[in-house]
Amino acid sequence: LESDYSQKIVVNADQQKVDIKDNRVTFFSHVIVTQGSIKLEADRVTVYGTGEKGSEVMIAEGKPAQFQQKMDSGQLMKGHANHVRYELKSRIVTLTGKAQLQQQDSLVKGDTIRYNIKTQEMVADGGKKGHVTTIFEPQQLQQTKKQ
């Protein structure tokens, strides 16, 4: 949902390591990150903090890490990748390593997929191997074009 990006972020896990010198917190084992309708499941999530409010960077790793968000249209966007990077400030989620995002019957695969959780826009690129990439627009945007 568009309101997701401004929600609190809750992380649950089995274990946690705090590297105080480096402002780094690592969550281990059965890690679930939720923010509004967004849900991220991974084996490990590392959170890099800075002094600036709301500017954490979260990096999820899994085999693969799973990502999902409910669209404003009510449909569910689901994705996975070996590596999911979420920048709170820019609201950009970057999926790399066998990245895939699926919404209803539209599927995008690529080496890297960048997705804005606020505007719900996505750009996929095939990386060096030039895999075919498809760019799809969430139906919500298509409907606004028809009006």
Partner 1 sequence: MSTQNIVIIVLLAGAGLLWGWLNLHPDDSQTNTSSQSPDFTASELYTVSYDKLGNVQYRVYADSMKYYEKSQTSSFESPRILIYPGPQRPIWQIVSRTANAYKQNLVTFHKDVVIKNLSNDGYIQDLLTSLLHVNLTEQTMSTDQKVTVVGPQYDQIGIGMHGSLATEVVTLHRDINAVYHNEQN
Among 2, 3, 54, 119, contact with partner 1 (rule: CB under 8 A) = 54
Number of residues in contact with partner 1 under rule CB under 8 A: 30
Six-digit token pair at 142? 């298509």
Please return the burial class of 115, using the count of CB atoms within 10 Å of its CB with bins 0-12, 13-18 and 19+: buried
Measured from the CB atom, is 50 or 142 closer to partner 1? 50
Stretch that binds partner 1, among 51-59, 67-75, 101-109, 121-129 (CB under 8 A): 51-59
Q: Is 1 in the site for partner 1 (CB under 8 A)?
A: no
Q: What is d(CA 70, CA 1) in angstroms, rounded to the nearest whole number?
A: 6
Six-digit token pair at 43? 């084996």
Site for partner 1 in 73-112 (CB under 8 A): 88-89
Stretch that binds partner 1, among 7-15, 59-67, 94-102, 136-144 (CB under 8 A): 7-15
Measured from the CB atom, is 87 or 125 closer to partner 1? 87
Q: How far is the CB of 67 from partner 1 (least distance, A)?
A: 17
Q: Could you tell me the CA-to-CA distances from 56 to 2, 13, 61, 124 in Å, in that order?
A: 19, 18, 16, 24
Q: How far is the CB of 65 from partner 1 (least distance, A)?
A: 17
Q: Which string of x and - marks every residue 12-31 that binds partner 1 (by CB under 8 A)?
A: xxxxxxxxxx-x-x-x----
Q: What is d(CA 140, CA 38) in angstroms, rounded to the nearest whole number?
A: 18
Which residue in this structure is represented by tokens 């799809």?
A: 136
Q: Is 50 in the site for partner 1 (CB under 8 A)?
A: yes
In three-state secondary structure terms, 54 is coil
